[in-house]
Chains A and B, each alone.
Chain A
């Protein structure tokens, strides 16, 4: 059964078509990834799914309820973790969770027990009486996720959960998200971290300029490139025409100079490194290191969208000012 069904969703802001003809089905208990660069329409889509924006066209059904006609009717089924931690700075962690539970009509004893349980799960018990404003970015993010699930939602919308936080907190949050999904919560995750989506999600949609360009399981997305053999070779004294010379000498291999000191080699057959090293040394190029690469979802994303993943990350972190 579908937890979420989106058909032909579109939204325009003035001259900008933010989202156009987005159709997605998310299954019960699925962890679905929504992947795209900054400005691709991810947050606008989430806002339309949760009732913070009205679609121009299209329908959204959550748990069978038509949210486009009656957004309020489905809000007790949804939990939302926005891309910015937006709890109340003047309240403590415990008060914030209790207040968020009260917004869903949960009675005092139940909401206090649930808040304690979540503070424990998210390792925030020691900070429960500290004001939210004094939390670190990682702690803020964790408490915001806890607030999003305080009412045990049917489907959780997670918008960029690990942007701008330290590695240890990000890892902990990924584990919490995985555990939450294991416990049966359907999760709709937007992220620009491709490796995060690859690690967590069962299926992924790539969205670029407001349109979905591909939806598939991670396994099926990676499958066409799984038989590829890729190697990166670090060199010094490489001349400007090295890529051309290599291509001419080894026509069955594909070469790409990533920069002056790094060459990427790709082939359908296993790559023999000896002839390559000897050829380059004969040209006066010093080979420092050769490393076999595992192709990942990032490569699939680059092939499908034409967008470099590193550029996407940098753009997001530069423009976001995220917690």
Chain B
């Protein structure tokens, strides 16, 4: 029970201190709004909206979560307030789950901005929400854990942003958002399957308009594995780099 009191309070503190702050709310709302507007204007008609939404959802989650988590954790580590958490009698895995839960929730909320906009333009009743919502949660988790991985690897806030881009931009271009994976050059195709977003985008494509490459079970398994691996690597790195 004591551990869950700590978990809940870390989660709530982070929401108040970071994610519900006006600049971050605006980042969380305006950024997906701008992406969505831009893609909708460029799209050929209402039919294309369903093809656009999965990409915009994924971009919103990816940029929202990785930016905020990597910066906030790096900021706390640099200010040494993170040491206060490491000194508390909470297991490291639970502590890091608490630290990342706010970012995961932030990513999920980000995802619903394009969905709400799409709801005004087209009929979303055919969407397979049973697959789409777990996929959104898993994309948010894997992106957040990627942000955590970045945060643990750097020591300065500006490094966190630079290092995040090292992963984010290749992922955006190779995960099937802008170019279908089957049309990518042969030497780039294997790279696509190394990114968690590829599997998340595939589920969303399947849920919104039925056009997916892999079975949902494969996508969900791969996404879950990415979440686990990224989280475990981050925990190991925290143990190695921050507990000297």
Across the interface, do A51 and B86 meet the contact criterion of CB distance under 8 Å? yes
Contact bitstring A50-76, B, C-beta under 8 A = 1, else 0: 111110000000000000000011011
**Which residues from chain A contact B183 at a C-beta distance below 8 Å?**
none
Across the interface, do B87 and A51 meet the contact criterion of CB distance under 8 Å? yes
Cβ of A134 within 8 Å of any chain B Cβ, yes or no, is no
Cβ of A102 within 8 Å of any chain B Cβ, yes or no, is yes
Scoring A90, A103, A104 by chain B CB atoms within 10 A of each residue's CB, the highest score goes to: A103
Across the interface, do B80 and A105 meet the contact criterion of CB distance under 8 Å? no
Q: Looking at the complex, which of A25-33, A78-86, A114-122, A207-215 is the stretch in contact with chain B?
A: A78-86
Across the interface, do B88 and A103 meet the contact criterion of CB distance under 8 Å? yes
Across the interface, do A103 and B243 meet the contact criterion of CB distance under 8 Å? no
Cβ of A88 within 8 Å of any chain B Cβ, yes or no, is yes
Across the interface, do A80 and B87 meet the contact criterion of CB distance under 8 Å? yes
CA distance A238 to B91 in the complex (A): 67
Given the known inter-chain contacts A53-B244, A54-B244, A90-B17, please indicate yes or no for A107 contacting B5, CB distance below 8 A. Answer: yes
**Which residues from chain A contact B9 at a C-beta distance below 8 Å?**
99, 102-103
Interface size on B, residues (CB 8 A): 24
CA distance A100 to B5 in the complex (A): 11
**Which residues from chain A contact B83 at a C-beta distance below 8 Å?**
52, 82, 86
**Which residues from chain A contact B6 at a C-beta distance below 8 Å?**
102-105
**Which residues from chain A contact B97 at a C-beta distance below 8 Å?**
none
CA distance A13 to B88 in the complex (A): 25
Across the interface, do A106 and B81 meet the contact criterion of CB distance under 8 Å? no
Cβ of A305 within 8 Å of any chain B Cβ, yes or no, is no
How close is A41's CB to chain B, nearest CB, in angstroms? Answer: 13
Contact bitstring B72-89, A, C-beta under 8 A = 1, else 0: 000000011101111111
Across the interface, do A54 and B243 meet the contact criterion of CB distance under 8 Å? yes
Scan residues 79-138 of chain B and give those whose CB is less than 8 A from a CB of chain A.
Answer: 79-81, 83-91
Across the interface, do A75 and B87 meet the contact criterion of CB distance under 8 Å? yes
**Which residues from chain B contact A51 at a C-beta distance below 8 Å?**
86-87, 243
Across the interface, do A103 and B91 meet the contact criterion of CB distance under 8 Å? no
Contact bitstring A105-130, B, C-beta under 8 A = 1, else 0: 11100000000000000000000000
Scoring A73, A80, A86, A91 by chain B CB atoms within 10 A of each residue's CB, the highest score goes to: A86
How close is B102's CB to chain A, nearest CB, in angstroms? Answer: 14
CA distance A89 to B88 in the complex (A): 19
CA distance A285 to B111 in the complex (A): 86
CA distance A122 to B1 in the complex (A): 30
How close is A105's CB to chain B, nearest CB, in angstroms? Answer: 2
Scoring A50, A73, A78, A102 by chain B CB atoms within 10 A of each residue's CB, the highest score goes to: A102
Scoring B9, B79, B85 by chain A CB atoms within 10 A of each residue's CB, the highest score goes to: B9
**Which residues from chain A contact B5 at a C-beta distance below 8 Å?**
102, 105-107
Cβ of B189 within 8 Å of any chain A Cβ, yes or no, is no
Across the interface, do B91 and A72 meet the contact criterion of CB distance under 8 Å? yes
Scan residues 185-199 of chain A and give those whose CB is less than 8 A from a CB of chain B.
Answer: none
Cβ of B13 within 8 Å of any chain A Cβ, yes or no, is yes
Cβ of A87 within 8 Å of any chain B Cβ, yes or no, is yes
Cβ of B3 within 8 Å of any chain A Cβ, yes or no, is yes
Cβ of A169 within 8 Å of any chain B Cβ, yes or no, is no
Residue of B nearest to A103 (CB): B88
Scoring B8, B85, B87 by chain A CB atoms within 10 A of each residue's CB, the highest score goes to: B87
Across the interface, do A91 and B13 meet the contact criterion of CB distance under 8 Å? yes
Across the interface, do A75 and B89 meet the contact criterion of CB distance under 8 Å? yes
How close is A109's CB to chain B, nearest CB, in angstroms? Answer: 12
Across the interface, do A89 and B79 meet the contact criterion of CB distance under 8 Å? yes
Residue of B nearest to A157 (CB): B87
Across the interface, do A88 and B87 meet the contact criterion of CB distance under 8 Å? no
Cβ of A47 within 8 Å of any chain B Cβ, yes or no, is yes
**Which residues from chain B contact A47 at a C-beta distance below 8 Å?**
244
Across the interface, do B17 and A91 meet the contact criterion of CB distance under 8 Å? yes
Given the known inter-chain contacts A75-B89, A76-B89, A91-B13, please indicate yes or no for A103 contacting B84, CB distance below 8 A. Answer: yes
Across the interface, do B85 and A103 meet the contact criterion of CB distance under 8 Å? yes
CA distance A89 to B8 in the complex (A): 20
Across the interface, do B1 and A105 meet the contact criterion of CB distance under 8 Å? yes
Across the interface, do A86 and B87 meet the contact criterion of CB distance under 8 Å? no
CA distance A87 to B79 in the complex (A): 9
Across the interface, do B88 and A104 meet the contact criterion of CB distance under 8 Å? yes
CA distance A217 to B102 in the complex (A): 50
Across the interface, do B88 and A53 meet the contact criterion of CB distance under 8 Å? no
Residue of B nearest to A91 (CB): B17
**Which residues from chain B contact A80 at a C-beta distance below 8 Å?**
87
**Which residues from chain A contact B91 at a C-beta distance below 8 Å?**
72
CA distance A159 to B91 in the complex (A): 24
Across the interface, do A88 and B17 meet the contact criterion of CB distance under 8 Å? yes
Contact bitstring A21-54, B, C-beta under 8 A = 1, else 0: 0000000000000000000000000010011111
How close is A190's CB to chain B, nearest CB, in angstroms? Answer: 16
Knowing that A52-B86, A53-B244, A86-B84 touch, tell me 9 more A-B residue pairs with CB under 8 angstroms: A47-B244, A51-B243, A52-B243, A78-B87, A86-B81, A90-B17, A99-B9, A103-B6, A104-B88
Show 22 A/B contacts (Cβ-Cβ < 8 Å), sorted by A.
A13-B244, A51-B86, A51-B243, A52-B83, A52-B87, A53-B243, A54-B244, A72-B91, A78-B87, A80-B87, A82-B80, A84-B80, A86-B79, A86-B80, A87-B81, A89-B79, A90-B17, A99-B13, A103-B9, A103-B85, A103-B88, A104-B2
